[in-house]
Amino acid sequence: MPTATSQVVSQLQRSIARAIYGKEDAIQACADHAATRAATCLLKTCPASVKTTLAQAIAKSFHCSFQRIQFTSDLLPSDVLGVSRLQSGIARI
């Protein structure tokens, strides 16, 4: 890992660690994903294990907003993001 990236990851980890104590492995995983510009980082743990607080801390570290969505087993990404449909150029009469 280049030095500049390593410094950014370390700074991000310190920033998040101010909000969360004792979850170094989750903080490391999220910081690594952010450093590699990964689109998503899935945190799968038991309930009440600071996932929301971790997401809020990451958002604040990047000066972004945070919104939480409560998922159910039948929720699809298109339910949250919407759907784009391309219309055909052929008019039917």
Is residue 74 one of the residues assigned to a domain?
A: no
Is residue 89 one of the residues assigned to a domain?
A: no
* pLDDT at position 93: 58
Global model pTM greater than 0.85:
no
Is residue 32 one of the residues assigned to a domain?
A: yes
Residue 87 phi/psi, 5-degree rounding, is -90, 140
* pLDDT at position 1: 47
* pLDDT at position 87: 62
For the chain, what is the domain count? Answer: 1
Task: Name the stretches of the chain with pLDDT < 70.
Answer: 1-4, 38-39, 84-93
* pLDDT at position 90: 64
Q: Which domain holds residue 64?
A: 3-68
* pLDDT at position 2: 56
Is residue 84 one of the residues assigned to a domain?
A: no
Residues 6 or more apart whose CB falls under 8 angstroms from that of 57 comprise 15, 16, 18, 19, 20
* pLDDT at position 91: 58
